[in-house]
Amino acid sequence: MARCSVCGAPAVAYIRYQRRYLCRDHYLEFVESKVERAIMRHRLVGKGDRVLAAVSGGKDSSTLLAVLSRLSRRIGFHVVALYIHLGIYEYSEKSREASIRLASQLDVPLIVFDLNEVLGAGIPELAKASKRPPCSVCGMVKRYVINAAAVELGVDAVALGHNADDIAVYNLKSFLNQDLEAISKLGVKTESIPGVAVGRVRPLYYVYEKESFLYSLLAGLPFLHEECPFVERRQMEVELKETVNQLEDKRPGLKLQMVSKLAKRVEDYPKPKGSIGRCPSCGLLSSGGECSFCRVTRRALGRPMGPVVREWFRRRA
Ligand code: FES
C-alpha cells in the first residue's frame, strides 16, 4: 500500500506533478495551502476584508467555500455565501438544498436569492422571452446578481469557484480564436470600480478540477453530483479539455504551468474596447447604454429589474 510522503499514513492521493503520495489530512492541507499561496501572492483578500463567495451547490463552489472558511480564521477575513436559485426545476431545488447544508455544516452565513420570488421569472422564462440560449442568459444573470449583491452588501471582493482546468481550457480556446480580449479576463482577480462593480477573485486558480473534486469528497462536503439540464457541451470545449488532459498525462504539471504563465502575463493582453459606464436604469456596470440584465428583464417582464434586485440586497445589508 502506498504511504503518505509526509507522515507515512495510508495514502489516498498521488500528486503526479510533485511525485508525492498524500494521506487524507495532508491532501486537504495540500489544497488549502495552494489556495492560501494564491491569496497571499496575488493579495486576493486581506485581514478584515469581507468576501462574498458565490455557491451553486456544485463541487468547485463547495471546495471554495470550505477552504475560504478555514483560511478566514487563519488570515482574519469574513466570508458570506450567496446562492442564486435560478428556477431550473428539480435541479435548482436540489442545488439549493446542497448549498444550505454546506453553509450550515461550515457555519458560514448564507443568502439565498430566488429569481422566481424576486423577479417572478426564472432562467427558462427569461431565456424564452429573450430568445437566447438558457446558458447565455444564465451566465449574464448570475454575473449581474452577484455584482449587485456585492455592491449593496459593501463587500471587498467576490470569490468565484473557477479552477485551473476551466482557466486553461478557456485560455486555449480564446487563443485559438485569437480573442485576446477574452484572455485579458482570465486573470486571478479583477479590480473594483467604486459604486459600480466589486472586484472578483479566483482562489482556486491553481487547483485542478480533480483536486477540487477529491477535496470535496474527502472533506465530506455536501454537493450536487448532477449537472444542470441546460448545460451546453460545446464540441470545441470538450475536445480542448480532452487535449489538455492528454497533454497533462504526458507532461504532469502542464496545466499548472499554463495558468501560472497566464497569471504573470494577463495584464499584457488588450482589454475589451468600449467605455466602462453606468447603466441608466440600475446604475451598475455597463459597457454602454442599458446593461444586459436591465435590457433582458425589460423585454421579458416589461420593466428593467436591476433596481428591484439592488433594493432586495440593500434591505439585507
Ligand atoms: Fe445556468 Fe445551467 S446553471 S443554465
Q: For 207-228, what is each residue's pLDDT tens digit?
A: 999 999 999 999 999 999 998 8
**pLDDT score recorded for residue 180:** 96
What whole-number distance in Å separates Cα of residue 307 and Cα of residue 124?
Answer: 22
- Asked if residue 15 is part of any domain, the answer here is no
Instruction: State the ipTM, two decimals.
Output: 0.94
What is the grid cell recorded at 91?
435541479
Q: In the structure, what pLDDT confidence band is assigned to residue 153 with cuts at 50, 70 and 90?
A: very high
Q: In the structure, what pLDDT confidence band is assigned to residue 234 with cuts at 50, 70 and 90?
A: confident
Phi, psi of 132 (to 5 degrees): -120, 155
Smallest CA separation from ligand 1 atom 1, residue:
138
- Say if residue 186's pLDDT is above 90: yes
Smallest CA separation from ligand 1 atom 2, residue:
228
15-27 per-position pLDDT tens digit: 999 999 999 999 9
**pLDDT score recorded for residue 227:** 87
CA 266 vs CA 173, 194, 197: distances in Å: 15, 22, 20
Contact assessment for residue 4 and residue 21, using Cβ atoms and an 8 Å cutoff: yes
What is the grid cell recorded at 52?
462574498
**pLDDT score recorded for residue 159:** 98
| Helix residue ranges per DSSP H, the chain | 24-41, 59-71, 89-106, 115-119, 123-130, 134-153, 164-176, 180-183, 209-218, 235-250, 254-265, 292-301, 306-314
Residue 139's nearest CA partner among 49, 42, 231 is 231
**Could you tell which of 60, 86, 132 is best to mutate to test the pocket of ligand 1, judged by most ligand atoms within 8 Å of the CB?**
86
- Say if residue 236's pLDDT is above 90: no
**pLDDT score recorded for residue 231:** 81
**pLDDT score recorded for residue 280:** 96
Smallest CA separation from ligand 1 atom 4, residue:
135
- Asked if residue 204 is part of any domain, the answer here is yes
Q: What is the CATH classification number for the domain harbouring 272?
A: 3.40.50.620
The tally of domains found in the chain comes to 1
Q: Which phi-psi region, left, alpha or beta, contains residue 253 (left: φ > 0; alpha: ψ -120 to 50)?
A: left
Smallest CA separation from ligand 1 atom 3, residue:
228
**pLDDT score recorded for residue 237:** 87
- Asked if residue 79 is part of any domain, the answer here is yes
- Asked if residue 145 is part of any domain, the answer here is yes
Q: Ligand 1 centre and the CA of 306: distance in Å?
A: 20
Residue 146 has what DSSP assignment?
H
Q: In the structure, what pLDDT confidence band is assigned to residue 1 with cuts at 50, 70 and 90?
A: confident
Q: In the structure, what pLDDT confidence band is assigned to residue 273 with cuts at 50, 70 and 90?
A: confident
What whole-number distance in Å separates Cα of residue 182 and Cα of residue 266?
Answer: 10
64-93 per-position pLDDT tens digit: 999 999 999 999 999 999 999 999 999 999
Pocket residues for ligand 1 (CB within 6 Å)?
Answer: 86, 123, 134-135, 138, 228, 230-231
Report strand pairing: 157-159 vs 200-201.
parallel
275-293 per-position pLDDT tens digit: 678 999 999 999 889 999 9
Residue 101 has what DSSP assignment?
H
- Asked if residue 90 is part of any domain, the answer here is yes
- Asked if residue 123 is part of any domain, the answer here is yes
- Residue 210's domain comprises 37-227+244-314
Q: Ligand 1 centre and the CA of 124: distance in Å?
A: 10
Question: Which residues face 21 on adjacent strands?
Answer: 14
Q: In the structure, what pLDDT confidence band is assigned to residue 179 with cuts at 50, 70 and 90?
A: very high
- Asked if residue 29 is part of any domain, the answer here is no
26-56 per-position pLDDT tens digit: 999 999 999 999 999 999 999 999 999 999 9
- Asked if residue 306 is part of any domain, the answer here is yes
CA 252 vs CA 19, 37, 116, 284: distances in Å: 9, 20, 45, 43
Q: Which atom of ligand 1 is nearest to the CA of 134?
A: 4
**Could you tell which of 135, 136, 141, 233 is best to mutate to test the pocket of ligand 1, judged by most ligand atoms within 8 Å of the CB?**
135
How many Cβ atoms are within 10 Å of 47's Cβ, its own excluded?
7
For residue 79, give the amino acid letter: V
Question: Mean pLDDT across the chain, nearest whole number?
Answer: 95
